[in-house]
Structure 1
Amino acid sequence: MSFQVKVLPAKLHFTVENNETILQAALRQGIDFPYRCQQGVCTSCVCKLRAGSVHYVPPSPLTELDQQQAFVYCCLAYADSDLELHHPFIRG
């Protein structure tokens, strides 16, 4: 099963499969998505979740504050639905 991802304000659209992270899907489709460590440490790929839901293979990298602010670590997050994300530095 696949889901659609929209990244604002860049108005980017791409598809994520259920066996890949959001970052893996973006890179596979040639999207210039910011990342470094791919382990949830550097926070380069962190987006704000505007709509939809994601899950992580335990343990989750999210702190309580991250959860309250609806942050998504795209290098570790798997989509559970269509998503709308916000990342101020991604260009379309």
Structure 2
Amino acid sequence: MYRVHLMPSGAAFEVSAHQTVLQGALEADVPFPNRCQIGACASCLCRLVEGDVRYHLEPMLTEQEKEQGWIFACQAIPCSDLVVSFEESDDY
């Protein structure tokens, strides 16, 4: 199990190594923006501030978005504890 901290709210939840970040949030009743849950709508787009994720299928992100740390929570599977943010800045 990995722990995910949401910034700036400070909410936290656990995600198994086989769940996506979004699945873990919804299972823990943590509000998390989402619509399609397949990576097409970008509602769950957030920034990875700390930690590592992997994907079964690489999401459609530009190289610049990847460098800035953007992830699709509906597709991202944690490989460590995470800190994610819905804010543009990662100054926490």
**TM-score under structure 1 normalisation?**
0.88
Structure holding more strand per residue: 1
- Tell me what 1:7 maps to: 6
Q: What is the CA–CA distance in structure 2 between the aligned matches of 1:82 and 1:18, rounded to whole Å?
A: 10
- Tell me what 2:79 maps to: 80
CA displacement at 1:83 relative to structure 2: 0.2
CA displacement at 1:51 relative to structure 2: 0.4
- Tell me what 1:54 maps to: 53
- Tell me what 2:30 maps to: 31
CA displacement at 1:11 relative to structure 2: 0.4
CA displacement at 1:55 relative to structure 2: 0.4
Gaps of 5+ in 1: none
- Tell me if 1:70 matches 2:87: no
Gaps of 5+ in 2: 88-92
Q: Name the SS for the 1:34 alignment partner.
A: coil
- Tell me what 1:43 maps to: 42
Greater than 3 Å deviation, 4+ residue runs? none
Q: Name the SS for the 1:65 alignment partner.
A: helix
